[in-house]
Amino acid sequence: MASSAQSHASLVEFGQKHVTKGLGRVVEAVITKAEGSYVTFGDGRQMLDFTCGIGVTNLGHCHPKISKAAADQCMNLVHGQCSIAFHGPYLELIQKLLPMMPHPSLDSFFFWNSGSEAVEAAIKMARTFTGRQNIINMQGAYHGRTFGAMAVTKSKTIYSEGFHPLMPGVFSLPFPYWHQLGVPVDTPSSKMSEMCLNQLSLLLSQATAPHDTAAILVETVMGEGGYVPAPPEFLKGLREICDKHGIMLIIDEVQSGYGRTGKNYAIEYSGVRPDIMITAKGLANGFPLSGVISRKELTDKLKPGSMGGTYAGNAVACAAAVAAADVMKEENILDNVNARSKELFAALNALRANPKVAPAILDVRGQGLMVAVEFASPVGTGPYDAFRNPSIPEKLASRVAKRCVEKGLLILTTSVYEVIRFIPALNISKEDLAKGCRIFAEAVEEVVNEA
């Protein structure tokens, strides 16, 4: 055991020396094995995972059916390049996804590797479909780190700091999130939606004319910006404005899609039809795969060769995604998401009601198993943050997350605010969810009382 620990320590030291500093880590350790809702590190620690690789291994680490499908595919075809010919898993995956689409008009598919690449493709498509350039995104949005995706990412400056100039023609719209708008946490979503839609009208008359605007890009649940669901009335208002002006509505379901919120795609809660929808992360349960989905009448405008990529729609990743689609049905995953979601919200709201910690918790929010707790802060984002509370300890989110790690729970912070996000596996057991909630509650009480 000692030699194993020593070997692990030397590997960590090697990684710290040779892996680019541009990558951050929650734990300075090497993952050696993962199964279901647990990961094991080289030093022997086993931890309950409420991160799922940031919403990727949604059906648990190394799901046996999905991993076997990928292994079997490796013995038949690993790389069937999409610009040379069709391959079976690519087409079979489309067959599986068609019935899962939030609207029957979404019938044309392009598979790539990552969410960022899918955002890039969606922007290219919107500009081609409309003959226009400008893109409207949301304040607080996250869409990726490649140059086009980075330009429409507004959750933190760290993602673009020092990398300018970025892609031009991007205009940001306020998102109906109480903290960003500076309104009370209990402000009705309809009121916040009206405020933001009014700002959109101003944007289209002051900054980017409708005939210059190719698309409005929005996450159905704002992810890295704080796990804030977009109100249905806001999404419906965006749809109406897009229809009026011939603007493409791009729905980013990279993190909120594929069962994460209790429906196949979170846009289903609003009934709004996307012109282009982006999916990734949980699509292949850990294998690199993303999808850009639109209407054939639109994608028929694309010239052959304008889309593509060496590894786009990789056969092994597609085979894994086919198996993942089967697991979603066979294991009644959406039922489990909705059942566990009620338990998670009940536990977090009970914690929020605890008088020992109540002043430190501003909000509990989310959909399905995409849930966040926002803490108060003595400094906020600056002197004009209306929700600063001098009596609250500093940096609660990061301190609570660190304490959870010490207690055996992997969990992540998010946004410029004091927010912790919960991303457990969609098939997590009742017992493991309760265990994670207990650890989180203990960590919150301890850190808040440390002052």
Say whether pLDDT at 13 is over 90. Answer: yes
Most confident of 7-16, 154-163, 437-446: 437-446
Show which of 330, 354, 385 is a domain's final residue.
330
Say whether pLDDT at 6 is over 80. Answer: no
Average pLDDT of span 20-49: 94
Angle, helices 315-330 vs 88-97, to 10°: value is 30
Closest of 49, 48, 8 to residue 30, by C-alpha: 8
Question: Residue 377 is part of which domain span?
Answer: 2-59+332-450
The domain that holds 107 is classified in CATH as 3.40.640.10
Q: What is the pLDDT of residues 37-83, one digit of tens each?
A: 999 999 999 999 999 999 999 999 999 999 999 999 999 999 999 99
Task: Say what percent of the chain tops pLDDT 70.
Answer: 98
The domain that holds 434 is classified in CATH as 3.90.1150.10
Residues 307 and 353 in one domain: no
| Distance from C-alpha of 2 to C-alpha of 51, rounded to nearest angstrom | 29
Q: What is the pLDDT of residues 327-354, one digit of tens each?
A: 999 999 999 999 999 999 999 999 999 9
Residues 421 and 277 in one domain: no
Residues 102 and 249 in one domain: yes
Angle, helices 232-245 vs 189-206, to 10°: value is 20
Say whether pLDDT at 2 is over 80. Answer: no
Residue 451: the pLDDT is 62
Residues 347 and 443 in one domain: yes
CA 432 to each of CA 49, 289, 400: distance values in angstroms, whole numbers, following the listed order: 10, 28, 19
| Distance from C-alpha of 7 to C-alpha of 157, rounded to nearest angstrom | 37
pLDDT-derived band of residue 450, with 50, 70 and 90 as boundaries? confident
Average pLDDT of span 127-134: 98
Q: What is the pTM of this model?
A: 0.96
Average pLDDT taken over every residue of the chain: 96
Residues 217 and 81 in one domain: yes
Show which of 313, 330, 347 is a domain's final residue.
330
| Distance from C-alpha of 222 to C-alpha of 367, rounded to nearest angstrom | 11
Place of tokens 């710290």: 16
Closest of 270, 238, 228, 260 to residue 103, by C-alpha: 270
Residue 320: the pLDDT is 98
Residues 443 and 405 in one domain: yes
Residues 301 and 248 in one domain: yes
Average pLDDT of span 380-384: 94
Residues 298 and 364 in one domain: no
Contact 378, 393 (CB under 8 A): yes
Show which of 330, 363, 390 is a domain's final residue.
330
| Distance from C-alpha of 445 to C-alpha of 304, rounded to nearest angstrom | 58
Residues 51 and 71 in one domain: no
Residues 296 and 196 in one domain: yes
Say whether pLDDT at 3 is over 60. Answer: no
Task: Say what percent of the chain tops pLDDT 90.
Answer: 98
Residues 302 and 340 in one domain: no
Say whether pLDDT at 1 is over 80. Answer: no
Say whether pLDDT at 258 is over 90. Answer: yes
Q: What is the pLDDT of residues 209-230, one digit of tens each?
A: 999 999 999 999 999 999 999 9
Residues 323 and 338 in one domain: no
* DSSP code per residue over 332-387: THHHHHHHHHHHHHHHHHHHHH-TTTGGGEEEEEEETTEEEEEE-BSSTTSTT-TT
Contact 412, 421 (CB under 8 A): yes
Count of domains observed in the chain? 2
